[in-house]
Each structure stands twice: as structure tokens, then as C-alpha cells.
Amino acid sequence: MDTQSLLAEAKAKFAHNSAKHYLQEKFSNKLLIAEQGGLWRADPNTINFLNCFDTETLVLLDIYNNPVEVNRTDLLNKLIEIYTKVMHEWHTEWKELETKR
């Protein structure tokens, strides 16, 4: 028996909340990046914070709370690149989920 027949027979319903949770688990990890001696999350907070400065270097806390001196522009560009790529993939899978019933 294939999975579609099995689901139909069991009258199983698609669990949107669980699927949403699974997607968050899957993609939030992909936003992590080890760069310039620290571990970073490519999230809006970090990107905005890096964008607030105009200095070449900056010291900020990585996700392990270690202060790391970074080249601001290089890290910013890298985080934007990761963020854009991962969020696009996340959105694509999310749209697929929305069509399921």
C-alpha cells in the first residue's frame, strides 16, 4: 500500500500547525553560519544591527555570547545572502503546504 492510499484509509487529516513547526525547525537551522571566528544567525535583528554602523570593523556577540571582532560589511553581505536564499526556500515549501488539505 502506498502512503496516499494509507492516508485515505486512515482518514488522516493534514496537520498544518505541525507542518509549520517542522518547517521552522528545518529552515531556522539553515540560517546558522560560522564566519569570521563566530557563529551567527542570519536573522533580521543581526542584519539590521550590522546595518546601523558605518565602521569597517565591529565587535558583536555571536550566538554563544562570545565577543567577536568582525569585518562588518563582509559579515553583513554574507548574512543577507544566506537570509535571502533560505527564506526563499522556506517560502516555497510554505506555499506548497498551504495548498494541502
Site for other proteins, rule CB under 8 A: 3, 6-7, 10-15, 17-19, 21-22, 25-26, 28-29, 32, 34, 39, 41, 63-65, 93
**Taking the complex as a whole, how short is the minimal distance between the CB of residue 11 and other proteins, in angstroms?**
6
- Cβ contacts of residue 34 below 8 Å, gap of 6+? 40
**Taking the complex as a whole, how short is the minimal distance between the CB of residue 71 and other proteins, in angstroms?**
19
35 exposure class (CB count in 10 Å sphere: 0-12, 13-18, 19+): middle
* Grid cell locating 41: 544567525
Residue among 9 and 54 whose Cβ is closer to other proteins: 9
**Taking the complex as a whole, how short is the minimal distance between the CB of residue 70 and other proteins, in angstroms?**
16
Q: Cα–Cα distance between 10 and 20 in angstroms, integer?
A: 22
